[in-house]
Chain A
Amino acid sequence: MTAAAAEPAGPVGRPSWWRRTVNTRTAYLFLLPALLVMAIITFYPLVFQVWMAFTDFQLKNLRPGSPGPAIVGFKNFLRILDNNIVIPNFDFVRILVFNLFWAFTNVIIHVVIGVAVALVLNVEGLWGKRIWRAVYILPIAIPPIIVATVWRNMFDPQYGAVNQLINGTIGVLFKLPPFQLDWLNQPNPILTAGPLILPLAYFALLAANIWLGWPLNSVVATGALQSIPKDLYEAAEMDGAGYWDRLKTVTLPFLRPAMLPFAIYGFVLTFNLFTLSYFMSGGGPFGQTELLVTTAYRLVQEQHLYGVAAAFAIFQFFILLVITLVTNRLARATASFDA
């Protein structure tokens, strides 16, 4: 850094402490506003949360001047692990497994479709690129709460667009009776494998989230595609490489470093995606599409079990920490290209 180099070394050995720390002090001055807000809004409640997790904090303790809650040790944590919570159909392991599966399947599909569409729109000489890009970005621009409620409406058994579409095409063609599948509440799971239960509602949520998720991946992939040096393609072409060869040897390796961090970010985002589960399926049927975030919200807002919710959040924190460490490790271990 220039500032550090410009620092005059005192004539008598070391400069004073005040002079030596000028960079650090300037830096923290720049950081102060952000840190101040985060300290009050994020870090203090986090610490408070740890204490709450060991108490039976409830609604009655909220009133000003009310006596403090009783310390209950690890009881809240055990209650969660024992599924001993008033929320119907609460099963911690099932929710966790479903949540991981949900995030994983979504991100893979988002990235694949996003990259594929970006590649199509990157074909040289394609007409109307700008128009298509503008159309494809629309889902990102719609508030997620509206996406969720609109898709809930679309999956309505009687009036929803999906069933009407099926009735209007296949139904008319084969003269079938009215098709009234209750996508979001169909009680029999499609697939059950150990703790993993996938009801029909999962696929409905997946469809909605694919619609919602791939465009942003496409934007990121498009940006990355445009930063690939053109001469690389020309060189590959001179070597006689066809479109697919160039895709494999030039394009995809270059996309990797851009897409990987974004995929990890997308994973965490999808893992914590509140709106679809809460507004579309309401966590149903039988809580099978409930996620950790929606459960945490219900514990606070519906049950007012602040102590249990705090313990739950601590579990959540460690789960996300493990996910982050694992994905970062994976990303580093597999990142062979440094563009």
Chain B
Amino acid sequence: MTTPVAVATPAKVRPVAQARTGSGRSLKLGNQLLLQLLCLAIGSTVLFPIVWIVGMSLDPRNIARPDSLIPPGANFAAYGRVLERPTLNPVSFFQLALNSLTLAVIISILSVGLGVLAAYAFSRMKFRGREFMMLLILAVLMLPAVATVGPLYISMNRIAVGGFRLGGSLLGVALAVTSTQLPFAVWNMKGYLDTIPKELEEAATVDGASRFQTFYKVVLPLATPVLAVTALFGFIAGWTEFILAQVFVVGDPTQWTLAIALNALVGQYAGSTPWSTFAAFAVLFALPVMIVYLLLQKWIVSGLTVGGIKG
């Protein structure tokens, strides 16, 4: 016997802060130009370091003295060197990127999956110990991961099956980073879920949907922006994680991530970093994140601010 579950069309409800596009009113030309000039000035301070690093990565001389933004004889040689063998270890850029990607994807999935379940419970259910649990999770937000890295490393090293040691693996890093991501994820997602009207769920319950069905079929589709933001933040956290990755897997170059390699790249030549190589590495490292960010931009604003206001 199946009871059809009535699901309201997501389009009906918009918990998202709607962007109002400026209507009608026009700006005086003088003010417009003045503001455009200001925007340009701000924009150039934002872009300068980025242009600088891109220019350096194209410099064929691989010297530490980039004297112009587009150096003479600019080419992609540095990128070739980086892709082939960025560090002294015989590990290619793709291997490093794959490790970072694995880390990022696991953390992204775990922080959304675990986080939204907890956020839903905090947002919609009344239960014994609710306040205490929320405080407990929020308190972790205050403590940086590095503060517990010692005992964490020791205890994770005790979890070992055969040759596999959790404290020496990327999975261990992923779990550790997820745990640091969860407090903000839960907090932000709870704030967002709070803005979704309860009436929809009540209607679904009346129609015979179970708690989990309501959550899965009514709430989740409406929460897409905040899920996207949480996933993005988890992805970035994983892609760029340094401290935990360094402590856990630095002993095994095949498990190195991009962040560990970048640190090694800057440090390994003791004062005479090959800046073009470094710059090319930095560009390749940053590019995926920047692209994803720009693609998801519209989700970010709504997913972040609504939760923030009601937090």
Query: Which residues of A approach B to under 8 Å, CB–CB?
Result: 1-4, 21, 23-24, 26-28, 30-31, 33-35, 37-38, 40-42, 44-46, 48-49, 52, 57, 62, 117, 120-121, 123-129, 132-147, 149-154, 156, 158-159, 161, 164, 211, 215, 219-220, 222-224, 226-227, 230, 257-258, 261-262, 265, 268, 272, 274-275, 279, 293, 296-297, 299-301, 306, 309-310, 313, 316-317, 320-321, 323-324, 339
B197 at the interface (CB under 8 A from A): no
The interface size of chain B toward A, counting residues with CB under 8 Å, comes to 107
Q: Cβ of A293 and Cβ of B120 under 8 Å apart?
A: no
Are B120 and A219 in contact (CB-based, < 8 A)?
A: no
Which chain B residues border A135 with CB–CB below 8 Å?
43, 46-47
Query: Cβ of B141: which chain A residues have Cβ within 8 Å of it?
Result: 265, 268
Give Cα A215 to B45, complex, Å: 12
Residue contact B154 to A62, C-beta cutoff 8 Å: yes
Task: List 9 A-B pairs, minimum CB-CB distance, nearest first.
Answer: A223-B305, A41-B179, A141-B293, A143-B240, A30-B121, A125-B27, A27-B127, A272-B144, A45-B151
Residues of A within 8 A of B18 (CB): 226
In the complex, B169 has a CB within 8 A of chain A = no
30 contacts between A and B (CB under 8 A): A4-B126, A26-B127, A26-B211, A28-B127, A30-B117, A37-B179, A38-B140, A41-B175, A46-B151, A49-B150, A57-B150, A57-B154, A120-B38, A124-B23, A126-B32, A137-B297, A143-B240, A149-B266, A153-B273, A154-B52, A158-B64, A211-B45, A219-B301, A226-B19, A227-B17, A230-B20, A261-B311, A299-B150, A313-B148, A317-B143
Known pairs A23-B125, A124-B23, A306-B154; A30 contacts B118 (CB<8 A): yes
Distance A144 CA – B239 CA, assembled complex (angstroms): 11
* Secondary structure class of chain A's binding surface, majority of residues: helix
When the two chains form their complex, are residues A27 and B130 in contact, meaning their CB atoms are under 8 A apart?
Answer: yes
Contact A301 B247 (CB under 8 A): yes
Q: How far is the CB of B305 from chain A (nearest CB, A)?
A: 3
In the complex formed, the residue of B with least CB distance to A144 is: B240
Pair B39/A306 contact, Cβ less than 8 Å: no
Interface centre among B52, B133, B146, B289 (most CB of A within 10 A): B146
B256 close to chain A: CB less than 8 A: no
Contact between chains at A37 and B282 (CB < 8 Å) = no
Contact of B49 among A154, A230, A297 (CB under 8 A): A154
The answer to whether B308 has its CB under 8 Å from any CB of chain A is: yes
Known: A300-B149, A316-B147. A138 touches B125 (CB 8 A): no
**Contact: A136 with B42, CB < 8 Å?**
yes
Listed stretches B70-78, B82-90, B91-99, B107-115; interface member:
B107-115
Query: Is B143's CB under 8 angstroms from A149's CB?
Result: no
Contacts A120-B38, A127-B36; A159 near B27 (Cβ below 8 A):
no
Complexed CA–CA distance, A21 and B126 (Å): 11
- Residues of chain A lying within 8 A (CB to CB) of residue B178: 37, 41
Q: Which residue of A lies closest to B176 (CB)?
A: A41
Q: Given the known A-B contacts A2-B202, A145-B262, A317-B143, are A150 and B282 also in contact in the complex, defined by CB atoms under 8 Å?
A: yes
Choice from A2, A143, A153, A274 contacting B236 with Cβ under 8 Å: A143
Known: A220-B304, A222-B301. 8 other contacts (CB 8 A): A27-B126, A38-B182, A46-B151, A48-B154, A120-B38, A153-B56, A226-B19, A297-B146
State in angstroms the CA–CA spacing of A274 and B120 once bound together: 32
**Is residue B79 contacting chain A, with contact meaning CB distance below 8 A?**
no
Chain A neighbourhood of B143, CB < 8 A: 46, 313, 316-317, 320
Please state if B110 and A339 are interface contacts (CB–CB under 8 Å). no
Asked whether A262 and B148 contact (CB < 8 A) given A27-B121, A159-B66, the answer is no
Bound CA span A57–B153, Å: 13
A62-B157, A135-B46, A211-B46 given; A123·B151 CB < 8 A? no
| Interchain CB contact (< 8 A) of A317 among B66, B133, B147, B202 | B147
Q: Is B246 an interface residue (CB 8 A)?
A: yes
Chain A residues with Cβ below 8 Å from B22 are 124-126, 129
Q: Does B152 contact A (CB under 8 A)?
A: yes
B20, B144, B278: which contacts A226 (Cβ < 8 A)? Answer: B20
Q: In the complex, what distance in Å separates the CA atom of A337 from the CA atom of B100?
A: 44
Quick check: is B170 within 8 A (CB to CB) of the other chain?
no
Contact A274 B117 (CB under 8 A): no
Most chain B C-beta atoms within 10 Å of own C-beta, residue among A139, A145, A215: A145
Interface flags, B252-291, vs A, CB<8A=1, else 0? 0000000100110010000001010010001001100110
Minimum CB–CB distance from A135 to chain B (whole Å) comes to 5
- Asked whether, in the complex, the Cβ of B32 is within 8 Å of the Cβ of A33, the reply is no
Contact, CB under 8 Å: A293 / B147: yes
A139 and chain B: residue at smallest CB distance: B46
A45 touching B155 by the CB < 8 A rule? yes
Q: How far is the CB of B275 from chain A (nearest CB, A)?
A: 6
Complex formed: what's the CA distance from A38 to B138 in Å? 12
Instruction: Find chain B residues with CB under 8 A from A31 CB.
Output: 117-118, 121, 133
Interchain CA distance A133-B42 in the complex, whole Å: 11
Q: Of A24, A45, A128, which one neighbours B152 at CB under 8 angstroms?
A: A45
- The answer to whether B286 touches A42 (Cβ under 8 A) is no
Q: How far is the CA of A161 from the CA of B150 in the complex (A)?
A: 38
Of the candidates B25, B142, B146, the one whose C-beta lies within 8 Å of that of A268 is B142
Min CB distance A278 to B, Å, is 9
Given known A-B contacts A23-B125, A30-B117, A258-B308, A320 and B142 have beta carbons under 8 A apart:
yes
Centre residue among A37, A164, A275 by max chain B CB count within 10 A? A37
B35 touches A146 (CB 8 A): no
* Contact B262 A146, beta carbon cutoff 8 Å: yes
Kindly list chain B residues whose C-beta atoms are within 8 Å of the C-beta of A144: 240
Question: Among the interface residues A31, A127, A257, which one has the most CB atoms of the partner chain B within 10 A?
Answer: A31
Write out the residue numbers on chain A whose beta carbons fall within 8 Å of the beta carbon of B247.
300-301
What residues on A are CB-neighbors of B259 within 8 Å? 143, 145
Contact B120 A24, beta carbon cutoff 8 Å: no
Residue B58 lies at the interface, judged by CB distance under 8 Å to chain A: no
